[in-house]
Structure formats: C-alpha cells, structure tokens
Amino acid sequence: MKLSTGLCAFLLSQVFLVVTSTTPSIEKHRIIPVNDPNDILITFGSCNAVMGDEQNDIFNRIVDLKPDTYIWLGDVTYIDVNEMPPKFKFPGEDKAKQKFEETKNNSNYQNLRGATHIIGVWDDHDFGHNNAGKSFLYKNITKQLWLDFIDEPQNTTRRTRQGGIYQSYYLGDVTKVKVILLDVRWDREEPFFLDFGGGELLGEDQWQWLEEELKDNPAEYTIIGSGIQILADDRIFTERWFTSSKERLLRLIRKYQTGGLILLSGDVHYTEMMKYPCKERIGFELHEFCSSGITHYASSHVPNVDGVVSELYPYTYNNKEDRYYERNFGKVRLTFGEKRSAKIEAINYYGATVLEREIPYEDLIFDESIIDDSSSCVVDTFNHLRFVKHFIHSLAVGRPYIWLITFGIVWSITLIITILRVLIRVFSWLLKRIISQRQANQKIKSD
C-alpha cells in the first residue's frame, strides 16, 4: 500500500511531536536546520588567532563544504596572549573583548558566519588563562564575552545559569543528531599535571545535566564535544580528562547505552583519530576525533614533531598513521537509512583530506552481549606506567628522538646539579669568610 507524500509528511510530523513532547522543553535556537536530513555534515576546529593577524583563510575551505554546522572546541582566540614568545596573562575585560571582536570581524570568519550555523564551547585561552580552571577570578566576565562572540541569544539558560557554558543542540530534529558540548574549565580542579587518577573536571551540576541529556536520548547519533582530549590518558605534556572523570563519563555512556556516539576534541595543535581499545567495557566501538590548529599547529613550533610524538607517546589509542601535524579542521559526515555510517576526515589548509575513517553504524550500536568486565585491557595498566614502559622500550630499540630527549634531560639535570654544587661552595666560602671576619673583629675588641 503506497502512502501519499502529504500523508507521509503528516505521520512524520506526528512522530516528531510525540518524541519532543516526552523530552524537556528545547529552546528554539538549539534545533539547527540541515540541508539534507539523511546526510548531515558537521565541521569543527580549535586553536585560532594567537595574535590576531595570522593567516586564517582556512575558514573559506570550511565554507566550500557547505556544512550544516561548524563547532568551536576551544581557543577561538587567545585573550591571554599579547606578545611573543607567549606570556600568559588575563589582559582585562576591554582587551579581552577586543581580541574576541578581532576574530569575529575577520573577513574570512565572516564568510563562515554567513554560510552556516556556528556553535561551540571554550577552552583555556578563550576562558581567560593558560590551563586555568575553577579558581580563575574573571570567568564570569569572559563567560559573557564568549557568549557574545558565539551570538548566544539573550536570557537563555546558558547565559543565566550560575555555572559553565555547557549546552546541547539538535541537528535536523531530536531524532537525528544530538550535539552535547561540555565545559571542561568552569569547575576544573588544578593543576592538571598532578593527575594520578583523581581530580574533578565538570562539577556536580554539569554531571547531573549530562546524565539527563543522555537519558531517554532519541537521536540516532550523539556527538560529545570537549575542549581537551578525553581518551588520551598516556600523555604527560598536554592536558586531558582526569582519569576518574573519564571513567565516570564512560559509565554514563554504558548506563544509558548511548549508541551512535562519537567524541570530538581540540587543544593539542595537531589532529588525531583515536579508538577506545576495550569495547567489551562499553558495549560498542568508541571513537574520538581530535582536530586542532586553525591558524597554528605543532609542526610550526616543535621541530620534527612527527618523530618526537610517535616515539614518545604509547600506542594505546592509535598509531603514528592516525596523526597529522599541519593546519587542519575536522569534518564529520553522518548518513542515515539502510547504509548508515559516520565518516570522519581531517581536512588540511588546502582543502584536501589527510586522514579519514569510515565507521559503519553497526559498530556504534550498543550490544549487551559483548560486555565482559573480566576481559583484560591495556587501560588496566596505570597510565603513567604505560608511558614509562613505552619510553624505556623506545630507548632499548634505539629510537633517535627518545635518545635525544634523554640526553637533554640528563644534561639538564647534570647542569642543575653542577650549578647547585657551585652555589653551595660559593655560599660555604662566603659563610666561612664572614665567620672568620667576625672572629677577627671580636679578637681585636678583646685585645
């Protein structure tokens, strides 16, 4: 029996009304229209405009794709940098506002603003200070400046809540794609480099909000965006999610069987594609796609960064071939129907695909039968121990950059020890001279 086009449209509208009636009220601006509901295109990026005069016509490559949305994942500009080499300092409200306006009024970015709907969330440099967290004094000021930059309507929940700028959106309608953007700054404990498993990242209010967002989620695909990397716990120089916070997120994903899920992140000035190595712990293949470097990128300020990173970091979540160190942005194409899939691509400055991975939707569907908490997994090894073991192995097999790094560390330690020994000897000599002089003076007085 064939149904007329009008009747089909009516039935679909009723389904949409039923679904939306069972979910909390959604502010109008949070439902983003799309060009084709069966082929939704998302672009995203991070790390833009350190000094405001960088070449950023890469925005025009994004415009060429005609995406349904562009997502900022932090560092839309660097309000804490006013000189090079960078010295991080919050410049005050007026100068911070000026930095945001420089990016917003740039002609290439204006092209992007006119071509697609832009959403996003911040990271440290547009939050206000390098690696800053909950103790940053000016976050209420930068919150409103950032929301002005992203054209957040007035009097929305995001503006009026006493907390961070986390938010969710829908592409097409609530049954298609849900985008959840997490604020990893507002309640972040500091300092990040002392993470030995603990540390709070989101704050309890945001955790409760996130659980509600994952509960009874009717979307076929769910995108979770974070300004910093989520899965990568075996890195020692870059920020990432605290281990306890990451595990709490994974428990929520498993609890609500959030299939069709892809993680997006930024921050590190290069792009990489990662996959959680233990699907038996979650129930499906969990992928993270990190894109960073709209205007600046790792290879511009770290010599031979490809070799250094490849030899330094363990291969817990990906391999050498899954990283790219030049300027780039991320592209995510989500298709629907019988052959559903998620295709993720890193696009370089010239508009060419430099990394890609197509993920069949079947791999993203939660499957209770594969859950096995007793199975062994590489992540059971303490993350810092994984790093140390990889470092020692790289030394043993003679990887040149590891040897160079080791030489640099040993040389630096030796230099510091030598300087300390010299200072101690000088101090001892001066102390002896002072004591000797005092004794001589006392003898003269006694005579």
DSSP string, 94-163: HHHHHHHHHHHT-HHHHHHHHHSEEEEE--HHHHTSTT--TT-TTHHHHHHHHHHHTTPPTT-HHHHSSS
Same domain as 391, residue 311: no
Report CA Rg, the chain.
26
Same domain as 314, residue 229: yes
Question: Is 82 contained in some domain?
Answer: yes
Residue ranges of E strands in 157-209: 167-171, 177-181
Same domain as 410, residue 274: no
**Residue 191: is the preceding peptide bond cis (ω within 30°)?**
yes
Question: Is 149 contained in some domain?
Answer: yes
Question: Is 432 contained in some domain?
Answer: no
Enclosing domain of residue 406 = 381-424
Distance CA 127, CA 424 (A): 43
Question: Is 5 contained in some domain?
Answer: no
Same domain as 390, residue 316: no
Question: Is 404 contained in some domain?
Answer: yes
Q: Which residue has the tokens 């060009």?
A: 35
Same domain as 122, residue 74: yes
Same domain as 391, residue 279: no
Distance CA 376, CA 280 (A): 9
Distance CA 364, CA 355 (A): 20
Taking the CB of residue 159, how many other CB atoms lie within 10 A of it?
14
What would you measure as the largest C-alpha separation in the chain, in angstroms? 125
Question: How far lies 257's CA from each of 220, 283, 286, in Å?
Answer: 12, 8, 12
Question: Is 2 contained in some domain?
Answer: no
Residue 61, classed as helix, strand or coil, is helix
Same domain as 393, residue 326: no
Count of domains for the chain = 2
Same domain as 412, residue 341: no
Question: Is the separation of the CB atoms in 183 and 166 below 8 Å?
Answer: yes
Q: Which of 130, 160, 131, 168 lies closest to 143, judged by CA?
A: 160
Distance CA 333, CA 346 (A): 12
Same domain as 216, residue 197: yes
Same domain as 406, residue 330: no
Same domain as 401, residue 328: no
For 141, counting Cβ atoms within 10 Å of its Cβ (0-12 exposed, 13-18 middle, 19+ buried), the class is middle
Q: Give the CA angle between residues 89, 93, 97 to the nearest 5°.
A: 100
Q: What is the DSSP letter of 222?
A: E
Question: Is 429 contained in some domain?
Answer: no
> Can you give the pLDDT of all 447 residues of the chain as single tens digits?
334 434 343 343 344 434 443 444 788 889 999 999 999 999 999 999 887 777 889 999 999 999 999 999 999 999 999 887 888 999 999 999 999 999 999 999 999 999 999 999 999 999 999 999 999 999 999 999 999 999 999 999 999 999 999 999 999 999 999 999 999 999 999 765 555 556 899 999 999 999 999 998 999 999 999 999 999 988 877 889 998 999 999 999 999 999 899 999 999 999 999 999 999 999 999 999 999 999 988 887 777 888 888 888 889 999 999 999 999 999 999 999 989 999 999 999 999 999 999 999 999 999 999 999 999 999 998 888 888 888 888 888 888 877 777 777 778 888 898 898 888 988 888 888 888 888 777 877 776
CATH number of the domain within which 252 lies: 3.60.21.70
